[in-house]
Each structure stands twice: as C-alpha cells, then as structure tokens.
Structure 1
Amino acid sequence: MVLLVVTLAGCTKNETNNQCTDSAQCGNGNKSIQGSKPTAMLEVAKLEAEIREGVPMKQVDNTYGIDAKPVEIKGGGLGVHIDITVKNLGSNPAFIPKVIMTFRKSGYPEPCVGIGGPLVTTATYSFTIPDDQPIESDGSYLHKTPFTLSKEVTHEIPPNKYEKFTLTVGPETVVDQANPWFGVLDITLERDGGKKVKTGPLAVVNTGGNSMFYPDGDSWFIDKKNNPECMKRNALAIREIMKTPGLTVSKEFASLDKALSAYL
C-alpha cells in the first residue's frame, strides 16, 4: 500500500487514517483535517457476471406422472453468478446489511421453435425471481418492470481492503425446452447508517432448458430449426439492450448478442 502524506499549514495527514501527526492544530482544530475522507469509504471497484455451477437445484421428470419426486442436482446446477468487488479506503470497517436488485428488464426471448418436455427444474438463488412475477400482458415473455428484490446479508469490509462477494440470480423454475432467462438490473448495497452504494446497469442471461438454443463455451448453439424471422426479433431486442448507457454485460450476454447478429 502506498502511503500518501499531505502537508497543510504546518501539519501532516496520513491518508490511511485522516489524523494529524504534527503538534500544531490543523483543519477544524480537533486534530483532523476538514474535508478529509469519512472513516468508512465504500466504493464498487469491479462488477462481473458469468454462468457457473453451484446453484442449489432440484429437478422433476414428469415422464413418470404426478407422483414424480424432485431430485437434487449434485453439486448444484448452472446459474448466473454476479461478482462484486468493493473497496473500503476508510479507517473503519464498512458493514453491508442489505442488498437490493432493481430490474429494468426481465424475461425470455421469444420461443422460435416448439417447446415443452417432461423436465422441470427448481432453483434457489440469492435473488430468486418467483414464478408468479407479473408479466407485461397476456402472452408476453417479459416481466412487468421495474421491480425489486432484496436480501438481508452480513458483509463486512475491513478498513483499507478490497473484498469480493458473489450473488446469484435467476428464475425459480426452468421448464424443459424453455428459452434462457435474461435480465438488466441495478444493484444497491445498503450500508450501516442507511448510506447506499449503487452499481450497474448489468445485463445477464442464464442457460435455460432449450436444447436448440443455449450457451456453448464462448458462443451459443442455435439450431437451424429456430424460425429466422422470430430469431431476428430476438436479435433486435438484445441489440437494443446493448445500447443502454454505462451497461456492463456478462460474458454470455455479450456472446449472445454476437451470435444473434447473424439474423440482423
């Protein structure tokens, strides 16, 4: 860590603790410098997102009828993980008791091939979008936005430290052959004392359950059976999201935009 020393009117300030080290009074007369940093200064240093394993999931195969039992996916299933790196440049710990997600967009690309199948997967995320989340209108594949989800947490960032923590987000249920869910969201970290630190917008997309449309490594597999005109509408919708000012995108969302560009 680089130690920055500032000399003002016969007194010095160590930027790591905002204290005067000279015997002379300085600043506001109480051995601290006016305009110095708060004792806990929290900022988001980095925001990233990608699909990884580890989300608690259960799957039901309805091939066996209504008596089918949910089976837990060993090691967890694939889902969106959001990694937030925060820095505290103050001299005291910073506490985050609550995280809020505000969704600008949420929903599914228009299905461009027949869907339906026996498998139903239920997931438990840090932020789980419930199955009964209101949609824009009958027949729509988009949720009514904006809406918010919140979660009580217990994150502490020590003074003069960087800390990374991970949030997961996604729909409660994934139906067999359903398209991937996508979302555009802002994240608010509520600090002790009611102060708020905001970051975003962030665009993410999950794997879905469609064997004809899913992320595949650094690209996407899109089966030729998908209707081209329908896929063009999806491509235009994703491209419009990419124009959002200040947008951060997950690796998979960026590759989805690139893959769909073939339909434009």
Structure 2
Amino acid sequence: MPTGLLIKYFLRVDADGLFHTYPHRGGPFKSLEETQEAIDTYHANRIKIKYLGELSKEDRYVWHKLYWRDGTRKNSKEALDAMMNLDPTLEVVKCLLDKHNEEHHLFEDLAYEVKEVVSYKAHFPENDSQYECRSFSHLNVLAKRGLNDDGNLLFIEITCTDGEFEEYALTCLSAVSSDDNGECCECGDDVKHPTGVEYKKGEAKPHGRCKCINRPISDEAFNKFIVVRDEDSLEAEEARVRRQFRIRSIADGHGARGKYIVPAKRVQA
C-alpha cells in the first residue's frame, strides 16, 4: 500500500518469475524493485501532469499538507468516495484466478475471468483457533470462461497469512448452484457454499459467547480516511495551513524558523 495513496496493490509472480500488478500498471516486471518503481512512477506522473503544474511555494505547501497524492482533498467526500470505489477484493480475486489459470494450464476459453464479486465475508480466527492464518474469506463470484459464456456462480475461499508480505492463497474454488447449501458456522446465508467440498467452515461458538472479531479500525485511521468534514471546516483548515506557511516564511526571512525576533531597543537622544 504506497504511502499517501488510497489504494492497495497485489502482486503475482508467474511461472517465469515475472511480476504482475493488480491493478494493472504495465509489465510484467523482472523484479520487485522494478515493479515498485513502475507503481511510483505511475502516481508521480499523475501528480505532475494533473495537479501540481506551476504551483507557488505556498500552494505546494498546502497541497502536501491537505491532499492525497492522487489529488483528492483529505477528509472530503471526494476522498471517501475514491476510497470506497476502489475494490481491493475484486483485484485480489483477479490475481488469484489468473494464478489458478496458469497453474492448471487454463487458457483462452477455459480460463476463468471474474465479472463481479456477488457476496463477501471475511473471518479473523481467534488466538486459540485451529486455523493457522491471519484471516480467511468466503466469496461468491460471477465468472465467465470464453467470450460466449454469460457467467457462472463460483464459491471461492481465500486465505491470508502474515510474513514479510501479506500472502494470499486460493484454497477452494467450486461452482455452486441453487441447490447447494454447504455448512459454514461463520457466513450464515450471506454466502452460498458448496456441499462435499473441503474449505474452512469456521468454528461454532457457544451460545452467549459470540462476538464480532473483525479487527477494529484505529481512531487515527478512522479520522484520516473515513471522517468527512463540511466545506466550511475544509476552508478553515486551508486558511490555517496558509497562515502557518506565511508565518514560517516570515521567520525564515529573519534567519530563524518559528522564533520571535526581539527588536533592538531605541537609543534615547
């Protein structure tokens, strides 16, 4: 997740050792460093061409303080909409299906192509869980195979483990029909599960002890990404940042930053 951007990237390494990015940013690339450079360059070029232009020093200061690197104003409705419209779930499904296609030699009309994520439930096992993973997710996905296919409903299980990087694995893929009613202690009726297929079914919890174990978002992250301020608050914040810049500029002109310069005493005649 690049610093200062409302976006998360997933990387896939193919059988030839080449790196693919999701969302797509060119490539494939020969190394992780080359991949990172391509991602950074993509966003740097967007900033340079679309947003910075010939801004004054003051406007640049304001931009770096109050805007995300993609040019959206922090804590604005536009920024929240941009974050909500990005779909990391869809991107990781695309990534894992491409990996599945390659590993099973599914090409052209045999290859899966995701059209839509229909339903999604993430689960975070507790510390004493039988599952050795950070999280697992159950999804129903509409996917097609070939140009003439209207799409079929799939059940997918994705497991995430921690390490130097988050690692995602496709641990179950199965077609489901209206007759399927597979068991899952976690999803309930939100996701249609296959029958007779191995996947993590969750862990039944004693009555009265059920609780939400999704990771809570921190107050800092909530204020940074989720809170939307009204136009008056955004304008007042920009005015404060501009005053801050001008005060610092005046201080720099006296040879010191942020310090009050005591004027010389007048000599009495």
Same topology, TM > 0.5: no
Instruction: Tell me the TM-score normalized by structure 1.
Output: 0.24
- The structure where helix makes up a greater share of residues is 2
TM-score, structure 2 normalization = 0.24
Specify which structure has the higher proportion of strand.
Answer: 1
CA radius of gyration, larger in: 2
The answer to which structure, 1 or 2, has the higher relative contact order (CA under 8 A, 6+ apart) is 1
